[in-house]
Amino acid sequence: MFDKTLLANKRILVTGGGSGLGASMSRRFAELGAELIICGRRLEQLEQTAAQLRADFGGKVSVARCDIRDAAAVEAMMETIWCDGPLDVLVNNAAATFIAQSEHLSARAADAILAPTLHGAMYCTLEAGRRWIAGHHKGVVLSILSTSTITGRAFTVPSAMAKSGLLAMTKSLAVEWGPRGIRTVAIAPGPFPTTGATGQLRPETRDSGPAAQNPLGRVGKHSELANLASFLISDQAGYINGEMVVQDGGAHLRASGAEDLLQWSDAQWAAQRAARTKT
């Protein structure tokens, strides 16, 4: 699909690159010649993914243990990265969510989603952006958002708020940082099965799967998202700035994807609160 050197000479940080969609994007970027830094909280998971990428593609892959909720930790990570040279691309991928009735959300529960999803991505963007501007270096920020930015989404309100905040960041910085050579772009994926998303959003007690509700009758393939991401961060997409590309098989045109939860009984919600997963 792409020239194998599409991302040669690109130095890319993927937050949450150790697992899920972050690992799948990292894999494709490595295949297309990029140097990678993947960050997350679980060092062992990061090392495992990095070792596999090195074995498969032979390029340079480094890991950074970093909880992006911690602004000082993000600054320290960026300092360490820049010691070896500037990044070319930041992929804001790490995020958290869970389903809950909003009236049951405590402040801590709301912050547990907003802190990594909104604040963490903002810290990473600001730390990369200020270094790009100071060094007169071009950069690209790709943020992985959600179709909740278009529809809103019941029962995942903090996530929907965070993703909409990041869409506002993407559009705003396109204008503010475009003249400085920095592009900001985004993808709004529909359902792409991952351990994290399935664990948090699809308890076995939910009746119908996202494939059944999708106009195309299926969920997304990781390779499809990884290819779109590769294009958007490449120089081939050099005139795309401030845009969010939806990749959901048309699902958001039918519904936001959470309406089945309106039918849940109090007992089902109580069981969900008791059985909630933590990844």
Ligand X SMILES: NC(=O)C1=CN([C@@H]2O[C@H](COP(=O)(O)OP(=O)(O)OC[C@H]3O[C@@H](n4cnc5c(N)ncnc54)[C@H](OP(=O)(O)O)[C@@H]3O)[C@@H](O)[C@H]2O)C=CC1
Of residues 33, 45, 154, 268, which one binds ligand X by CB under 6 A?
Answer: 45
x/- site string to ligand LOHRUJSQ, residues 125 to 164, per CB under 6 A?
---------------------x------------x-----
Q: How many residues bind ligand LOHRUJSQ (CB under 6 A)?
A: 23
- Do residues 159 and 189 lie in contact, with contact meaning Cβ atoms separated by under 8 Å? no
- Distance, CA of 36 to CA of 89 (rounded, Å): 10
Applying the rule CB under 6 A, the residues between 162 and 191 that interact with ligand LOHRUJSQ are 190-191
Whole-angstrom CA distances from 38 to 14, 30, 49, 228 are: 5, 11, 9, 19
Residue 11 CA to residue 112 CA, distance in Å, equals: 30
CB of 191 to ligand LOHRUJSQ, least distance (A): 5
4 binds ligand LOHRUJSQ (CB under 6 A): no
**187 pairs with which residues across the strands?**
144, 245
Helix (H, G, I), strand (E, B) or coil at 105: coil
What phi and psi values does residue 11 have, to the nearest 5 degrees? -110, 115
Q: How far is the CB of 270 from ligand X (least distance, A)?
A: 25
Interface region with ligand LOHRUJSQ, contact rule CB under 6 A, candidates 4-12, 82-90, 177-185, 195-203:
195-203
Of these, 24, 93, 97, 184, which contacts ligand LOHRUJSQ (CB under 6 A)?
Answer: 97
Cβ contact 184:169 at 8 Å = yes
Q: Which is nearer to ligand X, 40 or 249 (CB)?
A: 40
List 18, 129, 196, 249, residue binding ligand LOHRUJSQ (CB under 6 A)? 196
- Least separation in angstroms between residue 21's CB and ligand X is 4
Q: Is 60 exposed, middle or buried (0-12, 13-18, 19+ CB in 10 A)?
A: middle
Report H helices in the chain. Answer: 20-31, 43-57, 71-83, 107-114, 121-134, 148-151, 157-177, 195-201, 210-213, 222-233, 266-274
Nearest distance from C-beta of residue 198 to ligand X, angstroms: 8
Partner from ligand X, ligand LOHRUJSQ, none contacting 18, C-beta within 5 to 8 A by type: ligand X
Q: What are the residues binding ligand LOHRUJSQ (CB under 6 A)?
A: 95-98, 100, 106, 108-109, 112, 146, 159, 190-191, 196-197, 200-201, 210, 251, 257, 276, 278-279
